[in-house]
């Protein structure tokens, strides 16, 4: 699921705009508004972003064989020739992303990567860049295989997922207030602030990408409360700014839990059960 070479210049432009926006937010908060801003966390997020690009460049993906099989055995070929097919892809991708994101919080194997995204103790645009180095190595793209099997091309699915992730970038701006009626349908900064909260009231919720409707449908929606100040980061805060530590800390915890497990069944529960044996750890 890689973008064709023709898209590379546009991708580089988008990456440049994202990095400029991340830096500009830090500059404005620190030197214009005179508000606290964690520049060490900013640097760690930049390092995580660079490390992910380097690992992805290796071309290794655990899910690739399944994705190839899904495309070779697709039920049909769906061309994006009209608004109906685009809408079908958009809604399908949103549902698949919801399933992936929920599993990333509730399954230890996937959480070991996703924990990186929640490791910053400050919510900022820079935190959006923390996605971990091991996503493709753990097979997270398997959640989007149904779209390819149904008939969408891998390129179309990749573009849809990339657009979803690009949309979510601005959701990490903690200074954007609630957005009125848009809160009912779309994932907003308010909903995503809740998602990044480690308070007991806010754990494991608001998994949507562009839309919030699947959270409302499946009972995982939690609204931001004025009486509960959000504490960002992990339930057990990670205080390190070392990119290697950030990238591997949850894997080390998973390895220790596997080592301490007394049986094959218990080890399986560590891999596919909630991280730490309970939500949010």
Q: How does DSSP assign 86-140, residue by residue? A: HHHHHHHHHHHHHHHHHHHHH-HHHHHHHGGGG--SS-SGGGGG---S-TGGGTG
φ, ψ (nearest 5 deg) of residue 225: -110, 140
- Give the pLDDT of residue 12: 82
**Contact indicator for 161, 93 with CB cutoff of 8 Å:** yes
Q: Which residues contact 137 (CB under 8 A, 6 or more apart)?
A: 55, 60, 61, 62
Residue 76 is predicted with a pLDDT of 96
| pLDDT in the model for residue 280 | 36
* Residue 10: per-residue pLDDT: 72
Residue 4: both structure tokens together: 């064709």
Q: What local confidence, expressed as pLDDT, does residue 5 receive?
A: 55
pLDDT value for 278: 39
Burial call 83-118: b when 16+ CB within 10 Å, e when fewer: eeeeebbbebbbbbbbbbbbbbbbbbbbbbbbbbbb
**pLDDT tens digit at each of 281 positions of the chain:** 445 555 667 778 889 999 999 999 999 999 999 999 999 999 999 999 999 999 998 989 999 999 999 999 999 999 999 999 999 999 999 999 999 999 999 999 999 999 999 999 999 999 999 999 999 999 999 999 999 999 999 999 999 999 999 999 999 999 999 999 999 999 999 999 999 999 999 999 999 999 999 999 999 999 999 999 999 999 999 999 999 999 999 999 999 999 999 899 999 999 999 997 533 33
pTM: 0.93
């Amino acid at each position: 699921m890689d973008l064709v070479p023709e898209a590379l210049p546009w991708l580089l432009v988008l990456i440049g705009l994202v990095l400029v926006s991340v830096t500009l937010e830090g500059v404005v908060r620190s030197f214009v508004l005179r508000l606290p801003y964690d520049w060490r966390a900013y640097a760690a997020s930049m390092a995580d972003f660079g490390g992910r690009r380097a690992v992805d460049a290796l071309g290794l993906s655990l899910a690739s064989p399944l994705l190839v099989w899904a495309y070779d055995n697709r039920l049909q070929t769906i061309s994006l020739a009209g608004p109906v097919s685009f809408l079908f892809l958009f809604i399908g991708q949103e549902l698949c992303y919801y399933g992936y994101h929920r599993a990333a919080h509730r399954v230890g194997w996937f959480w070991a990567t996703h924990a990186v995204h929640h490791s910053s103790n400050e919510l900022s645009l820079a935190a959006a860049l923390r996605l971990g180095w091991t996503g493709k190595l753990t097979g997270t793209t398997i959640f989007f295989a149904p779209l390819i099997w149904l008939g969408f091309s891998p390129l179309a699915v990749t573009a849809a997922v990339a657009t979803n992730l690009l949309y979510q970038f601005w959701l990490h701006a903690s200074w954007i207030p609630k957005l009125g009626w848009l809160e009912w349908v779309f994932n907003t900064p308010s909903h995503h602030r809740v998602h990044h909260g480690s308070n007991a009231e806010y754990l494991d919720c608001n998994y949507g990408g562009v839309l919030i409707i699947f959270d409302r449908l499946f009972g995982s929606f939690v609204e931001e409360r004025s009486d509960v100040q959000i504490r960002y980061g992990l339930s057990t805060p990670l205080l390190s700014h070392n990119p290697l530590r950030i990238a591997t800390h949850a894997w080390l915890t998973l390895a220790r839990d596997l080592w301490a497990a007394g049986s094959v069944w218990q080890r399986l529960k560590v891999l596919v059960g909630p991280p730490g044996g309970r939500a949010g750890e």
